[in-house]
Amino acid sequence: MTLVTDLTSRKADTTAQLIDPLVDRWSPRAFDPNAVVDAETLRTILEAARWAPSANNSQPWRFIVARRGTPAFTTAHDAMLGFNQAWADSAAALVLNIAETADADGKPRPWARYDLGQAVAHLTVQAQHEGLHTHQMGGFDAAALHAAFDLADNLEVVSITTIGVLGDVDALPEALRERESAPRLRKPLSELVLVGE
């Protein structure tokens, strides 16, 4: 069994000193299929999302939290593209990240997806701090999930976050195994900062 023991190689090769959860975070596909995330830890990482900033403090984020082995987990897993189904079944929990795109009067919330993304970023960093790993995905049938969970018209499932404990890379299909050790690349800051030093 080859566990991902060389975690150093997955650390971000940063050009400035960052806080540990940001350096250590990466998106694995090999999760331990037996690991369980306790309710208190799940609550803690959702609390991190809760305290994210948002436009006019509208907090337009909603979540469906599904632990492995529950009907909600199966529903979410069934809606994933085959590529994602192949690895996400081992995650301890899935969080469906949902944007409230309009208020109760139907007035659009133009920043809803932006705010949701920021809340998910908080969740991700807190999960890393708790010793967990996360892997977000956009490859799923959002309309199917909207229907399956009977969501209101002003709610949109934007992404899914898998949460779990690192697992055995060898248990992955070969094509996915290679990705697990591929170099982690980023554009240089000089390309990202359009104006400014």
Ligand X SMILES: Cc1cc2nc3c(=O)[nH]c(=O)nc-3n(C[C@H](O)[C@H](O)[C@H](O)COP(=O)(O)O)c2cc1C
- Interface with ligand X (CB under 6 A): 26-27, 84, 136-139, 159, 184
Residue nearest to ligand X (CB): 139
18 vs 39, which CB is nearer to ligand X? 18
SS3 103: coil
SS3 124: helix
Give the tokens for residue 122: 């908080």
In the complex, least distance from residue 139 CB atom to ligand X, rounded to whole angstroms: 3
In the complex, least distance from residue 27 CB atom to ligand X, rounded to whole angstroms: 3
43 vs 184, which CB is nearer to ligand X? 184
SS3 19: coil
Residue 167: closest CA among 3, 6, 9, 1: 3
In the complex, least distance from residue 180 CB atom to ligand X, rounded to whole angstroms: 10
155, 98 Cβ separation under 8 angstroms: yes
Max intra-chain CA distance, the chain: 55
In the complex, least distance from residue 34 CB atom to ligand X, rounded to whole angstroms: 22
How far, in Å, CA of 71 to CA of 130, rounded? Answer: 26
101 vs 159, which CB is nearer to ligand X? 159
103 vs 179, which CB is nearer to ligand X? 179
